Amino acid sequence: MIVSDDAGQFRLGEHALCWVRAERLAHKLVPANDQQRRAVEVTRSLIWWLHADLKAWQRDPRPRRAAALRARFDRIFTRHTGHVVLDRLLARLHRRKAELLRVLERPGIPLHTNGSENDIRACVTKRKVSGGTMSEDGRTARDVLLGLMKTCRKLGVSFHRHLGDRLRVPGAIPVPPLPDPVRQAAATASPDTRAQAFAPVTPDATKALSEDHMIPDGTLSVASFMLLPDTLAAILAGHRQPELRALVARHALPLAAAPTGHVPLLGSPHAAPPPMAAFLTGLAGTAVELDEGNYPAGGHPAIHALAAALAEAPLHPQATGADLLAGFEAGYEAGARVGAATTLRPAAHPHGTWGVIGAAAAVAHLPRLDAAATQRALDIAASLGLATSATASLRGGSVRNAYAGAAAQNGMLAVDLMQAGITGEPGGIAAVFGKVIGSAYDESRIPPGRLIDQPFLKAAAACCRETQGALEAIESLLEQGPLGDPDAIEAIEVATFASAALLDERAPVAPIAGRFSIPFTVATRLIQGHAWIEAFEEPALSDPRTRALAAKVAVREDPALTALLPARRVCRLTLRLRDGTACTAEVVGTPGDPDRPLPESALREKFRRCAEPGFGTGWERLWHLARDAAAQPSAAALIRAFQPPAAA
């Protein structure tokens, strides 16, 4: 097997392409405008995310995940970005799919040529310093000695001792012939267990929710490295809300006065007992509607899992940042997969329901409970979910924000109950989510691959995802030219799919109702000039011009658009002016959707806006800590870093 940068002389036999070289082709493109720059940036992000997941797959190759990775490859390299040169490059790389994905057939090969290029660097440096050799014999001697030196270094053998033994220097320490350690290294790199990874997946292998596809195996998904800072940003912003400050004052203590056993609260200079910390963190993470969501799951898995993991991790002094991330991902996958298998009853809101499974899985993962113990905890957790109302937020009930916190708290309780000897209903997940809170539970509905790779993220709009199609349409119209005085607008008509069309309240009575109102979201964007947190709070909420414009927005369901779900989430907006002119924009999805991921620069800016009010210029240090969480030696120290000064 030859892995190369596509130089012609290396196209021999079975061939694989270097991913670094493939991405470099996109990196070298010179965009002509902002649209092309964004297209290149998003494409590079998609490529690197796939590259990182291929590396994770190498550590644990499974056929089901391989199929999902091949499908992602097709989605990435068949995209049409509108940047002609980039689209041609993507099509060209797609034609080399077999060579770029050779690793899925041969997990032991590298994804790039960095190793071989580093190996020949000494030769190149020697040539630059000394020039070429005087003869063919000199070139051969140089190459042989450098090759032996590199081989010895890779095998952990002293090159000088090797030469001394081969040249029979008196007193030299014996060194085995190099072929022997080479064979041993090859055998270690290709364990017999690798063949077992390609064994067919039987139905029985997917039944236990605590095994295999429910609880990840220790390999972190690249998406978790972006989801962690993104969800932390939402938590930091939420802790600045007055209701959070009031609850923290009642149920937490300043960190310096907190007794042993209390855990730090991110975004607050206080500490609380772990169950209350989980509740407050979950509440904060949903308070301003900036946390992620997941379409297959039909809800927001991240905040349920992370709130519990952040409360549990400080209880384990040896837990590292990588352990925290692994627990977070375990919880995300567990909750999201139950959500994907569940058909919730129409009146139920997903927050606080199957999220309790994710919270319990995250808590069980940190102390490394075995699969049997984890399954017992999940059976208990199934009976500790909430009966939540989908209309609470539409009618101004901010209790909806407490759903995720209560589920995180109950997830911790489920593990405590299990360890105390309390038992749950056997098969409780299917019973509760298939017959009580849901009308059906069918694991065949769970998509292949990791659901953490399919989140939708929000950048600059602190409102429900289903309002953001209309926002995207407004942004599209604004890009075409100024819309003039908002007071000159006669009417705005929004046609969209059924679930989004429910968000039609024109006169929201509270901030949360505004965040779940398409009319108010559109109006506040046009009047306030943005849809960030302040656009849904006082004085913006009661602004007369905003409310007058919201009264002109009509939202209706278009059955033809509903029929396009789930493949396409379409919103069509028509804006009519008093002078009789009209303009229309139709959008499919929004930035942040799985097929339109936000560039890292957008997520970094969101993090800044959330963290800067409490941490000032220190926000940038927090961003890097969150991005590099897996490298942090202490999860507890990482969490403490996200506490602002007492005066913040």
Instruction: Give the DSSP letter string of 586-619.
Output: EEES-TTSTTSPPPHHHHHHHHHHHHHHHHGGGH
Provide the mean pLDDT of the chain. Answer: 87
**pLDDT digits over 472-523, tens only?**
999 999 998 888 899 999 999 999 999 999 999 999 999 999 999 999 999 9
For helices 84-94 and 19-27, angle between their N-to-C axes, nearest 10 degrees? 170
* Dihedral sign for Cα atoms in the order 386, 237, 265, 360: positive
Residues 103, 66: contact at Cβ < 8 Å?
Answer: no
Q: For residue 129, what pLDDT is reported?
A: 64
Percent residues over pLDDT 90 in the chain: 61
Summarize the confidence of residues 106-128 as an average pLDDT.
70
Contacts of residue 601, Cβ cutoff 8 Å, sequence gap at least 6? 41
Q: For the chain, give me the number of helices (H) and strands (E)? A: 28, 13
Lowest pLDDT segment from 54-63, 109-118, 395-404: 109-118
State both tokens at 300: 């927001």
Measured from the Cβ of residue 483, the count of other Cβ atoms closer than 10 Å reads: 15
* Most distant pair of Cα atoms in the chain: their distance: 101
Average pLDDT, integer, range 444-460: 88
Three-state DSSP at 392 gives: coil
Residue 385: partners with Cβ closer than 8 Å, 6 or more residues away: 352, 353, 354, 355, 356, 357, 407, 410, 432, 437
Looking at residue 558, what is its pLDDT? 95
Angle between the N-to-C axes of helices 274-286 and 222-238, in degrees from 0 to 180, rounded to the nearest 10: 90
pLDDT at 124 over 70: no
Q: Is residue 648's pLDDT more than 60?
A: no
465-588: which CATH architecture? 2-Layer Sandwich (3.30)
Confidence class of residue 406 from pLDDT cuts 50, 70 and 90? very high
Q: What φ, ψ does residue 574 adopt, rounded to 5°?
A: -120, 125
pLDDT tens digits along 187-235: 655 433 333 333 332 223 223 455 433 443 445 566 667 899 999 999 9
Average pLDDT over residues 384-407: 96
Q: What is the rounded CA–CA span in Å between residue 452 and residue 250?
A: 35
Question: Which tens digits make up the pLDDT trace of 335-375?
Answer: 999 999 999 999 999 999 999 999 999 999 999 999 999 99
Q: Please compute, for residue 113, the number of CA atoms within 13 A of its CA located in the half-sphere on the CB side.
A: 20
Mean pLDDT of 134-161: 80
Integer Cα distance of 100 and 97 in angstroms = 5
Question: From CA 560, how far away is CA 218, in angstroms rounded?
Answer: 43
Bridge-based pairing state of the strands 2-4 and 15-17: parallel
CATH 1.10.4100.10 for the 214-456 domain, yes or no: yes
Interatomic CA distance for residues 275 and 93, integer angstroms? 50
Residue 571 above 70 pLDDT? yes
Could you read off the pLDDT of 276-332 as tens digits, one per residue? 999 999 999 999 999 999 999 999 999 999 999 999 999 999 999 999 999 999 999
pLDDT of residue 216: 38
* Encoded tokens for 16: 């694989």
User: DSSP letter at 432?
Assistant: I
pLDDT of the residue at 555:
97
Question: So what's the pLDDT on residue 476?
Answer: 93
In 279-436, DSSP assigns E strands to: 293-294, 342-344
pLDDT at 179: 83
Q: Which residue has the tokens 């409970």?
A: 369
Q: pTM of the full predicted structure? A: 0.72
Work out the pLDDT band at 95, boundaries 50, 70, 90: very high
Query: What span, in angstroms and rounded, lies between the C-alpha atoms of 66 and 61?
Result: 7
596-618 per-position pLDDT tens digit:
888 889 999 999 999 999 999 99
**253: CB partners within 8 A, 6+ apart:** 259, 262, 270, 271, 272
Continuous segment of H or E residues that includes residue 263: strand 263-264
